[in-house]
Structure 1
Amino acid sequence: MDDLEAAEREITASTVTRVHYTAPPYSLENMKQLHRQLFSDLYEWAGEIRTVDISKGGTRFCTCARIEAEALKIFTKLQEVDWLRKQDKDSFCGLLAEYYCELNMIHPFREGNGRVQRIFFEHLALSAGYELDWENISQEEWIQANIDGVDVNYGPMKKIFNRIVTS
């Protein structure tokens, strides 16, 4: 872990306590607000959509010109399925995995996407009557599930969510 990553973790560990649950409807604006709350002490651009294209490893994330349009598609689909409410656990986990992977590919911020996404999905789960317990996921398993999601293979992510989702 480099110095910047260590500083991010230390600062967000204290700022995360300022984040309060938000009920649906959700949008990219909610994610921008979460990002601002978490990272405003660290980055002057906290809460702003990135203006550069980025990649990590062999994965190229959504081009910055398409972030808002692609995010709108995902949030519209989530709204159409009533924010995943009224789903049994298995269906909920399958849909959660799909939307997590899709939103991860958008990667709207230069840094901090993972933390914002986890908090957003905690809110989404709470609104549907579930909770997420992130404790028992190895970094290797999590990274691989996200890589698999790039190839629209949501099975590994669903397996993780089946394990960490509680009602």
Structure 2
Amino acid sequence: MTDQELFDRFKYPNGTLKNKRGITDTTELARLEFQMVNANMVALLQHAAQFPRIETIDQLTVVHRFLFDDLYAWAGEVRNYNLAKAGHVFQDFHTFRETTRWINSLLSKANQEARLPASAYAELLDNINEYHPFREGNGRSTKTFLQLLAIQHHQYINFPRHQDQLVDAFNQATPIDYAALGRMLGVQNRDE
């Protein structure tokens, strides 16, 4: 799919994302999206006990749809085109089958443990971030997904407020130090 075809598919002529509300002002859409997605995120985490146990990466699509469906028709749809953001090219969609298999193996390993080390969440965060299956909203969906996984393990992830260090760690050329990245996440055990 060409850049122009992607633009036409997802954006109004002025560059605002096409949305169910017909909002064409980028600032107005961003404000509404922030409010709606955060409210949906809180609701989902407050009712985490009713959410199915995180077993596979396919459940990320359910999270994405729950967070963004009020605004975007494509919420929960895995992309079938390549995507780059700020000069970073994310996982080629042709390799998604292998990617999901790898992430599912990490989830399977995680689910064999009562509690997870922060490095396990960091490795999942890195791999899911690189997978980047959706047009927009990958970061918020991934954090919510991992928070649901943490809840299953009687833990909580305190994601850093400013993500510059996380982004830098993701973009480094050498293998990522998941232990160091895990320390940035601030994983805490919850009382059972």
Q: What TM-score, normalized to structure 1?
A: 0.81
Q: Is the contact between residue 56 and residue 107 of structure 2 (CA under 8 Å) also seen in structure 1? A: no
Query: 110, 132, 138: which one pairs with 2:162?
Result: 138
Residue number in structure 2 paired with 1:166: 188
Among candidates 44, 47, 52, match of residue 76 of structure 2 = 47
Shift of 1:23: 4.8
Q: Match of 1:154? A: 177
Alignment RMSD (CA, Å): 2.2
Higher Rg: 2
Q: Percent identity?
A: 24
Aligned length: 158
Question: Are 1:130 and 1:165, in contact at CA under 8 Å, matched by a contact in 2?
Answer: yes
Report the Cα distance in structure 1 between the residues aligned to 2:97 and 2:33, rounded to whole angstroms: 25
Unaligned runs of 5+ in 1: none
Alignment-mate amino acid for residue 61 of structure 1: F
List 4+ stretches of structure 1 deviating above 6 A: none
Unaligned runs of 5+ in 2: 1-25
The structure 1 residue matched to 2:93, chosen from 64, 87, 99, is: 64
CA distance in 2, matches of 1:71, 1:8: 28
Matched residue SS, 1:131? strand
Structure 2 CA distance for aligned equivalents of residues 151 and 52 of structure 1? 27
1:82 shift after superposition: 4.1
The 3 A distance-change label for structure 1 pair 137 and 145 is farther
Structure that is richer in helix per residue: 1
